[in-house]
Amino acid sequence: MAKTELQSNTFQAAPLTSKTEPACSSMANTLKLSLDYDQLTNCMRCGFCLPACPTFRETGVEAESPRGRIALMKAVVDGIMEPNMQFEAQMNHCLGCRACEPACPADVKYGQLIEQAREAVEKHTVSHRWWVKLARKVAFKGVFPYQNRVRMVGGALRFYQQSGLRNFVRNAGLMNLFPAHMRDMEKILPDASDKGVIESIGTRHSADGLRIATVGLFRGCIMDILFTETNINTVRLLTAAGFDVVIPETQNCCGALHAHSGEQSDAKELAKRNIRAFRESGVDWIISNAGGCGALLVDYGHLLHDDPDWREDAAWFASRTIDISKILADQGNLPHTFGSMDEEPMTRITYQESCHLRNVMRSSDAQRKLIRRVEGAEFVELFESDRCCGSAGIYNLTQPEMAGSILDHKMEHVKKTEAHVLLTSNPGCLLQMKHGIEKHGMSDRMQAMHVVDFLYSRLNRDKINVVK
């Protein structure tokens, strides 16, 4: 029944008198220790972040908004609520696209809060089934940290795709054993390789013409087995633009999957190995061609800020990490225009941003500038290109429903552009866009490509018409 006593359940920020006993579960305790209370207090609940948030847009439910999620975290820390299955689910529903951060006038570091929350959830999760836990453990601890193992997975995938096994599996209907969204993903996976960029073209490449700087390529893990060609094209673009390129062999996975899923200590270990690899190779810049990885690379400074042995190197690494498009647009000696492919008629291009590139690395102009320099191509803006496509790391596998409805909205807008080429700058988004094009029956009209591959295909070396 409703209360009649005024203020019987009103609690002020301090002191707290809540209806429930203070939460004392172990997850609550971990959350109390790990969540940054300053950031929780900084959220003034103005709601400015709500319109920016894709999950809020899809559902209209306050708990699915940044303001709501922060309130949930704070309620747990304040002892007003027990973190239960639903709390876990809500933390996992967040795409981590961080569109809420640039929208927040109070500068709340939401990205850090959600990672801290997920770390606690991961430690005490009750909702994961044993096989999910096992699969995560194998992937996160057994595979991603080791370059050679990642490559072995690439090899196995390649074997599956090319030996006829894939056809057998598909024809025998074995894929039907998997949920629909997994089947969809299997279909659009590009041909994998067991050879990464280094195995294909070696570790050092000199600049064409005058050298501007020496840069190190961050090759990534998934990127390097599924999109080896994109890594190779990145090197070619960089050398053409006047950069010496080094690809340090001892680098490994960036740790983004670990960090975003709450495995902070693994992420830190991976970060340290990367920092050492690039520090030792004497580069001026670290080049990222995957928005998702890049966002964690620029966050290494924060990740290791309380480790006195690593603080300085991590800050160096973070400040020297730059997206391929940005360095090409701002510093590169590229021709003023990229050539057209004579045999093709006018191409219409559109661009879906990578959330992390935009919201964390805060870069979205450079890509557009470069694309506009392509001859014989017309650039059309994609409505809400700044909104997450639903890929978000492995989100489309873990939260297929939400990811699916976000993707459907995205593809409606994509369709309206009538573009022939849909560009992205992150492998996860690229796969999601390929999936979207397939799902919405648009493969006959449109293809999705990484910006790097597109630009490289249009680099006309005969007509060098250098700006600067």
Residues in contact with another protein by the rule CB under 8 A: 1-14, 19, 38, 41-42, 44-48, 50-51, 60-63, 68, 71-72, 75, 80-82, 84, 86-87, 90, 104-107
Name the nearest CA neighbour of 214 among 262, 286, 127. Answer: 286
Residue 359 and residue 353: Cα distance in Å, rounded?
Answer: 10
**191/412 with CB nearer another protein:** 412
Three-state DSSP state, 459: coil
Q: How many residues interact with ligand SF4 (rule CB under 6 A)?
A: 27
Enumerate the H helices of 324-381 as residue ranges: 324-330, 355, 365-372
Q: Which does 154 bind (CB under 5 to 8 A by kind): ligand SF4, another protein, none?
A: none
Among 31, 58, 78, 110, binds ligand SF4 (CB under 6 A): 110
- Judge contact between 39 and 77, C-beta under 8 A: no
Q: Which does 220 bind (CB under 5 to 8 A by kind): another protein, ligand SF4, none?
A: none
Binding mask 67-86 for ligand SF4 (x = CB under 6 A): x-xx----------------
Instruction: Give least dist CB 135 to another protein, A.
Output: 27
Q: Which does 95 bind (CB under 5 to 8 A by kind): another protein, ligand SF4, none?
A: ligand SF4
Q: Does 89 bind ligand SF4 (CB under 6 A)?
A: no
Exposure class string for 207-224: b at 16+ Cβ within 10 A, else e? bbeeebebbbbbbbbbbb
Sign of the CA dihedral 224, 228, 231, 235? positive
Instruction: Give least dist CB 102 to another protein, A.
Output: 11
Three-state DSSP state, 274: helix
**50/254 with CB nearer ligand SF4:** 50
**237/403 with CB nearer ligand SF4:** 403
Instruction: Give least dist CB 112 to ligand SF4, A.
Output: 11
Q: Which does 194 bind (CB under 5 to 8 A by kind): another protein, ligand SF4, none?
A: none
Q: Does 137 bind ligand SF4 (CB under 6 A)?
A: no
Among 24, 61, 89, 106, binds ligand SF4 (CB under 6 A): 106
Q: Which does 433 bind (CB under 5 to 8 A by kind): ligand SF4, another protein, none?
A: none
Instruction: Give least dist CB 351 to ligand SF4, A.
Output: 20
| C-alpha separations of 283 from 50, 245, 289, 328 in Å | 41, 9, 16, 16
The residue range among 88-96, 137-145, 220-228, 374-382 that interacts with ligand SF4, by the rule CB under 6 A, is 88-96
Q: Does 393 bind ligand SF4 (CB under 6 A)?
A: no
Q: Which does 225 bind (CB under 5 to 8 A by kind): another protein, ligand SF4, none?
A: none
Q: Does 55 bind ligand SF4 (CB under 6 A)?
A: yes
Q: Which does 100 bind (CB under 5 to 8 A by kind): ligand SF4, another protein, none?
A: ligand SF4
Beta strands 204-205 and 243-246 are antiparallel
**108/225 with CB nearer another protein:** 108
Q: Which does 13 bind (CB under 5 to 8 A by kind): another protein, ligand SF4, none?
A: another protein
- Judge contact between 325 and 362, C-beta under 8 A: no
Enumerate the H helices of 35-106 as residue ranges: 37-42, 54-59, 66-77, 85-93, 100-103
Sign of the CA dihedral 64, 65, 70, 71? negative
Instruction: Give least dist CB 80 to another protein, A.
Output: 7
Q: Does 402 bind ligand SF4 (CB under 6 A)?
A: no
Q: How many CA atoms lie within 13 A of 324 on its CB side?
A: 31
Q: Any idea what DSSP says for residue 251? A: -
Q: Does 429 bind ligand SF4 (CB under 6 A)?
A: no
Instruction: Report which secondary-structure segment, H or E, holds 232.
Output: helix 228-240
Residue linked to tokens 């830190």: 268
**126/134 with CB nearer another protein:** 126
- Judge contact between 123 and 116, C-beta under 8 A: no
Q: Which does 8 bind (CB under 5 to 8 A by kind): ligand SF4, another protein, none?
A: another protein
Name the nearest CA neighbour of 292 among 393, 368, 388. Answer: 393
Name the nearest CA neighbour of 274 among 294, 252, 292, 291. Answer: 252
Q: Which does 99 bind (CB under 5 to 8 A by kind): another protein, ligand SF4, none?
A: ligand SF4
Residue 421 and residue 441: Cα distance in Å, rounded?
Answer: 15
Residue 259 and residue 144: Cα distance in Å, rounded?
Answer: 13
**10/148 with CB nearer another protein:** 10
Sheet of strand 347-351, all strands in order from the earlier edge strand to the far edge: 377-379, 347-351, 421-424, 447-450
Instruction: Give least dist CB 318 to another protein, A.
Output: 22
Q: Does 286 bind ligand SF4 (CB under 6 A)?
A: no
Q: Does 40 bind ligand SF4 (CB under 6 A)?
A: no
Residues that bind ligand SF4 (CB under 6 A): 43-49, 52-55, 66-67, 69-70, 94-100, 103-104, 106, 108, 110
